[in-house]
Amino acid sequence: MRYFDPERGYVMCTVERDTWTAEFRQIFDVQDPQGVVEAGATFVVERGTPEAQPA
């Protein structure tokens, strides 16, 4: 999987029995306590599939 975004942020992962979902979140102004967090890309790995797919 390749994903690049120049903004700062984090990845929120949800792991369930048959899937692993990775949601990339972007923070545009890390100095602002009320800063906006927006969704970036989301990828899913399904059970039995060896690669991530865009969701």
- Is residue 7 pLDDT above 90, yes or no? no
Q: Which two tokens stand for residue 46?
A: 């399904």
22, 52, 16, 28: CA torsion to nearest 10: 10
pLDDT confidence tier of residue 27, bands split at 50, 70 and 90: confident
Stronger pLDDT, 24 or 7, i.e. the higher one? 24
What's the domain range around 22?
8-47
d(CA 46, CA 51): 8
The pTM of the whole model exceeds 0.85: no
- Asked if 9 and 27 count as a contact pair (C-beta separation under 8 A), the reply is yes
Is 2 part of a structural domain of the chain? no
- Asked if 22 and 30 count as a contact pair (C-beta separation under 8 A), the reply is no
Q: What's the domain count of the chain?
A: 1
Is 39 part of a structural domain of the chain? yes
